[in-house]
Amino acid sequence: MENLTYKISNGVLRLDISGDYKNKNLPEVFLAQIKSPEIKRIEIDAKDLNSWDSSLLVMLLDIYHKATALNIKFDGKNFPNGVQKLIELSLAVKPQQEPPLPAKQSFLDCFGDFGLHIFHTFMKGAKFALSNLRTFFWAPVFKPVSRTVDFWFAFQECGPKALPIVLLISFMVGLILAFVGAIQLQIFGAQVYVASLVTIGMTRIIGAIMVGIIMAGRTGASFAATIGTMQVNEEIDALKTMGVKTEEFLIFPRLKALVISMPILTMFADFAGILGGAAVGILALDIPSSEYFRYAYKAWHLRHFLVGIFHALVFGFIIALSGCYFGVNCGRDADSVGTSTTKSVVYGIVWMIIATGLITFCLQRMHI
Amino acid sequence: MENVIQAKNLTIGYGPKVLLRNADFAVKEGDIFIIMGGSGCGKSSLLKVLTGLIPPLQGSFDLLGVDFNRASSEQKSLLRQKTGILYQSGALFSSMTLAENIAMPLEQYSAYSPSTIDELVRLKLSLVGLSGYENYYPSEISGGMKKRAGLARALALDPKVVYFDEPSAGLDPVSSARLDDLMLEINANLGTTLVVVTHELQSIFNIGNNSIYLDAATKTITGSGSPKDLLKNPPNERIAQFLTRGKEK
Ligand SMILES: Nc1ncnc2c1ncn2[C@@H]1O[C@H](COP(=O)(O)OP(=O)(O)O)[C@@H](O)[C@H]1O
Ligand SMILES: [Mg+2]
């Protein structure tokens, strides 16, 4: 406070500002005095002011606002030109009025809004999925406007480049499946059925699910991030105004790439999983390798295999659509790209599980 | 008066590619210093060197009396607090409101109390004509407003020098003139030195009191001085063309 001296006499508050007024916090104690009812007038003198910065302006503005609110006369003397000008400048533009916040809603309203929101979101997603599926399945007839390079680039990303991680994870899953199964089967001395367990499990469902989860995290997320960033950079607006449909230009190549690569990756995953099971069976459970593969071959049914591939196809659609949907519906800032990416993975996996449930139920009914 | 920036034999470029050779120039305190030159001659790169984003290939420059490239990291941090930069598109952080954007340097570098920071944020926004927009996100305001908000952030710490990279790019003539006025006010009233890269002839003559012209062909500074003097006595043909938009007398 060494820069501020003030005294109150006859209803006049006299404030002297002196020296270097820089980097000062608001003098709260002094500012609180202004509210006292005896003050009718404020006089500020800055004749001994040496140098100053924004903190002086902030203090003066605060006094000004308090004084005008209380109808107190406010008078400044000997201020440097700049101070005067900047205060005028900052008061020149009337503050923009913020629109009033919507009134608080009752619980029932909120509940209803929530329900409606879910319904609308679902319908929006369904519409998106249908329009893209239409583009996809009519592609042989109505050639979509898209670039072949985009397809090859996406295919590289979700095919060959994803293969190592798919092989590794599936091998490990086969291994784990065999170990867990062996503990139970050993009770009956039937370890050799580990081969059947792993083969049926991997080909019918686990291979496809593992590939689905890996691809949702790897490729679905990257679709969402890429398209989301394009949204932030107004590239999608540019496409739309050129009359190019995003469904065709951005989504179709990605959808095609993933739908083609998912079944292929799943075949590799099935194979790697069976090898993982074999590693446990042959090395840890001492099943002769010829025996293991004989049982594995016996358990291998085209039916199971095709069910697995069908799952993979469906998962391919789900992951690609989820990634692209959240990319296209991304907000316009850096944060929303992050949120979109997360959502694409979460919803991709959730819908994959829902689809698995539905498919399993239907196949059960059809005795497949 | 002390020189705010003193470039000594500065050579800038990227790897083997040299953009500007052996440049010597001085920016005096209180100047509005214009960096002119055709597109691609290295104006933005020169700003990057002066703000310490890339090192010069050769030579050095003093910023506020300190040799920037020899300065310790603490000194550099101090110097950076005394400089503000307005990027072409404002470069506001998109996940923060305008108030949070402007409060950030204050929270990082100053010892102000939270209530003082709030008031400072309000002051800076009102100085650039954006009072009441505290809680808006950058995506919710127009390009000109983003620039002004970016300027408010650049001014947050009461810097000694503010750099501008093409401030009028993408602004309509009225907004661009208003930004010029704002820059003049800030320069006159806060005593802030402004270093401005611009092509806009009107701005150059309106606000500039000192300038250099970077020549892409010779990769040197071929002219310096007040823009009005350069127009009266152009040292070479290219500067004359630049300052008259290619129209001869
Ligand atoms: N990071 C970089 N690496 C290599 N060259 C660059 C880089 N940034 C800019 N350049 C080149 O430097 C030259 C000058 O660029 P810049 O400084 O942006 O010009 P301007 O004067 O238009 O602002 C251009 O030819 C550009 O291609
Ligand atoms: Mg540039």
pLDDT at res. A102 = 66
Taking the C-alpha atoms of residue B7 and residue A118, their distance in angstroms, rounded to an integer, is: 62
Establish whether residue B106 lines the binding site of ligand 1, counting it when its CB lies within 6 angstroms of any ligand atom.
Answer: no
* Three-class SS state of A351: helix
Helices (H), chain B: 43-50, 73-81, 98-109, 114-127, 143-154, 173-190, 201-207, 227-232, 237-243
pLDDT at res. A82 = 80
Taking the C-alpha atoms of residue A221 and residue A135, their distance in angstroms, rounded to an integer, is: 22
Whether B138 contacts chain A with CB within 8 A: yes
Backbone angles phi, psi at B163, to 5 degrees: -100, 140
pLDDT of residue B97 exceeding 70: yes
**Residues 6 or more apart in contact with residue A101 via CB below 8 angstroms:** none
Q: Which of A83, A260, A80 is nearest to A155 (CA)?
A: A260
Q: Which of A38, A73, A128 is nearest to A322 (CA)?
A: A128
Q: What is the nearest CA distance from B121 to chain A, expressed in angstroms? A: 9
How much is the average pLDDT of A125-141? 92
Number of Cβ within a 10 Å radius of residue A56: 23
Tell me the pLDDT of chain A averaged across its residues.
Answer: 88
Does A349 or B66 have the greater pLDDT score?
Answer: A349
* Three-class SS state of A76: strand
Establish whether residue B40 lines the binding site of ligand 1, counting it when its CB lies within 6 angstroms of any ligand atom.
Answer: yes
Does A123 or A50 have the greater pLDDT score?
Answer: A123
Token look-up 């739908």 returns A259
Residue B108, both tokens: 């990082």
Q: Which ligand is nearest to the CA of B41?
A: 1
Give the type of residue at B83.
Answer: T
**Residues 6 or more apart in contact with residue B221 via CB below 8 angstroms:** B20, B23, B24, B25, B212, B213, B214, B215
CB distance B212 to B20 below 8 Å: no
Taking the C-alpha atoms of residue B138 and residue B147, their distance in angstroms, rounded to an integer, is: 10
Which chain A residues are within 8 Å of B116, Cβ to Cβ?
25-26, 55, 58
- Banded model confidence at residue A1, pLDDT cuts 50, 70, 90: low
Taking the C-alpha atoms of residue B147 and residue B170, their distance in angstroms, rounded to an integer, is: 10
Residues A82, B132: C-beta atoms closer than 8 Å? no
Residue B1, both tokens: 């008066």
pLDDT at res. A352 = 96
**Residues 6 or more apart in contact with residue A278 via CB below 8 angstroms:** A174, A195, A198, A289, A292, A293, A296
Q: List, for residues B124-160, the tens digit of each pLDDT value.
A: 998 888 888 888 888 888 888 888 898 899 888 888 8
Give the type of residue at B73.
Answer: S
Taking the C-alpha atoms of residue A297 and residue B146, their distance in angstroms, rounded to an integer, is: 67
Q: A173 vs A204, A205, A248, CA distance in Å?
A: 14, 12, 37
pLDDT at res. B244 = 85
pLDDT of residue B194 exceeding 90: yes
Number of Cβ within a 10 Å radius of residue A142: 10
Q: Which of A75, A102, A80 is nearest to A14 (CA)?
A: A75
Interface test with B, best of A26, A88, A101, A233 (most B CBs within 10 A): A26
- Listed ranges A81-85, B162-166, B227-231; the one with the highest mean pLDDT: B162-166
Which chain A residues are within 8 Å of B129, Cβ to Cβ?
92-93
pLDDT of residue A342 exceeding 90: yes
Residues A62, B111: C-beta atoms closer than 8 Å? no
Q: Which of A289, A332, A329 is nearest to A128 (CA)?
A: A329
Taking the C-alpha atoms of residue A252 and residue A145, their distance in angstroms, rounded to an integer, is: 9
Give the type of residue at B173.
Answer: P
pLDDT at res. A98 = 65
- What angle, rounded to 10 degrees, do the helices at B143-154 and B98-109 form? 20
Residue A133, both tokens: 């599926």
Q: Which ligand is nearest to the CA of B42?
A: 1
**Cα B93 to averaged position of ligand 2 atoms, centre (Å):** 21
Give the type of residue at B50.
Answer: L
How much is the average pLDDT of B109-132? 87
CB distance B204 to B230 below 8 Å: no
How much is the average pLDDT of A78-103? 76
CB distance A327 to A224 below 8 Å: yes
- Banded model confidence at residue B248, pLDDT cuts 50, 70, 90: low
Q: Which residue of chain A is at minimal alpha-carbon distance from B125?
A: A90
Token look-up 């397809």 returns A151
CB distance A113 to A104 below 8 Å: no
Whether A92 contacts chain B with CB within 8 A: yes
Backbone angles phi, psi at B97, to 5 degrees: -70, 170
**Chain Cα centroid distance, residue A241:** 26
How much is the average pLDDT of B202-222? 89
pLDDT of residue A30 exceeding 80: no
Give the start-to-end residue ranges of the domains of chain A. Answer: 3-92, 144-365
Minimum-distance CB partner of B116 among A25, A82, A331: A25
Whole-model pTM?
Answer: 0.70
How much is the average pLDDT of A17-21? 85
pLDDT of residue A245 exceeding 90: no
pLDDT of residue B1 exceeding 60: no
Residues A82, B191: C-beta atoms closer than 8 Å? yes
Q: Which ligand is nearest to the CA of B19?
A: 1
**Chain Cα centroid distance, residue A167:** 27
CB distance A332 to A232 below 8 Å: yes
- Listed ranges A84-88, A355-359, B30-34; the one with the highest mean pLDDT: A355-359
> Element (H or E) spanning A357, and its range?
helix A334-365
Q: List, for residues B168-192, the tens digit of each pLDDT value.
A: 877 788 888 888 888 888 888 888 9
Question: Range with the lowest mean pLDDT among A147-161, B125-139, B233-247?
Answer: B233-247
**If one looks up domain A3-92 in CATH, what number appears?**
3.30.750.24
Q: B16 vs A332, B13, B51, CA distance in Å?
A: 38, 7, 21
Taking the C-alpha atoms of residue A28 and residue B226, their distance in angstroms, rounded to an integer, is: 46
Of all protein residues, the one whose alpha carbon is nearest to atom 4 of ligand 1 is: B14
Q: B200 vs A9, B167, B204, B239, CA distance in Å?
A: 56, 9, 6, 14
pLDDT of residue B201 exceeding 60: yes
- Banded model confidence at residue A99, pLDDT cuts 50, 70, 90: low
Establish whether residue B198 lines the binding site of ligand 1, counting it when its CB lies within 6 angstroms of any ligand atom.
Answer: no
pLDDT at res. A198 = 93
Does A72 or A328 have the greater pLDDT score?
Answer: A328
Q: List, for residues A2-11, the tens digit of each pLDDT value.
A: 788 888 888 7
